[in-house]
């Protein structure tokens, strides 16, 4: 009998934990989180100056439920890249001196269904605001207008996101997310060839305080 109880106890505890985690239907009112990402920028001639279109990124987000399963979400991210080795740029500068420093701020709507199980999914969309700094005069942006370079280093665009999350604890979840964004800067359009947005593959943790 004692042996039976010893063998049965872990299953009983796990069943209770599983029931506590998955049985309630909850719709949290707020969420915050952080992530690390792998980013691929869309600018077609990026590798004329910089070492790769791929690189690490980091960021975070916060959201508040406004109605139903809809959350107003604010997101932040950053991406840096150094110049490649090679011949001098047209300006006479060595390419390895180049430095790309991009930041983005996004606001949108995320749809996250009621949390019923440990696994869940969500999707969202919204507007993006992009800022880019480079080491002048090394730049992938050619002169525009009457031959002068634009002093605009900010622009706008949009993003789409889809993700899955797994609730490790009742208020803590791990997630994987795919985001596609498009944004223009320095007077350029946000079409694919000159977009400073791109593909963002992210994983991180989210916390649902209440």
pLDDT of residue 83: 92
SS3 assignment for 82-95: EECCCCCCCCCCCH
pLDDT of residue 150: 43
Segment 58-65 shows an average pLDDT of 98
DSSP state of 146: T
Nearest Cα neighbor of 135 from 79, 89, 88, 97 is: 97
Whether 127 and 158 have beta carbons less than 8 Å apart is answered as yes
Entry pTM: 0.82
pLDDT at 52 over 80: yes
- Residue indicated by tokens 């919204």: 126
pLDDT band for position 25 (50/70/90)? confident
Q: What is the DSSP string of 37-63?
A: EEEEE--TTGGGTBS-SEEEEEEEEEE
**d(C-alpha 87, C-alpha 90), whole Å:** 9
pLDDT at 177 over 90: yes
Largest CA distance in the chain: 91
Q: Please tell me whether residue 192 adopts helix, strand or coil conformation.
A: helix
75-112: per-residue pLDDT in tens? 999 999 999 987 787 777 889 889 999 999 999 999 99
DSSP state of 194: G
pLDDT of residue 161: 98
pLDDT of residue 141: 75
pLDDT of residue 70: 97
pLDDT at 143 over 60: no
pLDDT of residue 80: 96
Rg (CA), the chain: 23
Q: Hey, which CATH number is domain 34-207, 1.20.1630.10, 2.40.160.20, 3.90.650.10, 3.10.129.10?
A: 2.40.160.20
Q: Which pair of tokens denotes residue 146?
A: 């009457």
């Amino acid at each position: 009998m004692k042996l039976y109880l010893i063998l049965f106890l872990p299953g009983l505890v796990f069943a209770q934990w599983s029931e506590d985690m998955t049985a309630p239907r909850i719709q949290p009112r707020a969420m915050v989180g952080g992530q690390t990402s792998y980013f691929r920028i869309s600018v077609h001639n990026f590798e004329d100056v910089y070492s790769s279109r791929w690189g690490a990124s980091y960021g975070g987000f916060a959201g508040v439920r406004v109605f139903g399963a809809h959350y107003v979400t604010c997101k932040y991210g950053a991406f840096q890249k150094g110049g490649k080795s090679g011949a001098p740029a047209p300006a006479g500068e060595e390419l390895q001196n180049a430095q790309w420093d991009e930041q983005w701020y996004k606001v949108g709507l995320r749809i996250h269904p009621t949390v019923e199980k440990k696994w869940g999914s969500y999707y969202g969309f919204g507007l993006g605001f992009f800022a880019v700094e480079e080491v002048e005069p090394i730049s992938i942006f050619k002169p525009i207008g009457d031959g002068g370079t634009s002093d605009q280093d900010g622009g706008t665009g949009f993003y789409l996101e889809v993700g899955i999350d797994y609730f490790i604890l009742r208020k803590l979840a791990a997630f994987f997310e795919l985001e596609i964004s498009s944004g223009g800067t320095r007077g350029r359009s946000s079409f694919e060839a000159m977009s400073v947005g791109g593909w963002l593959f992210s994983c991180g943790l989210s916390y649902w305080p209440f």
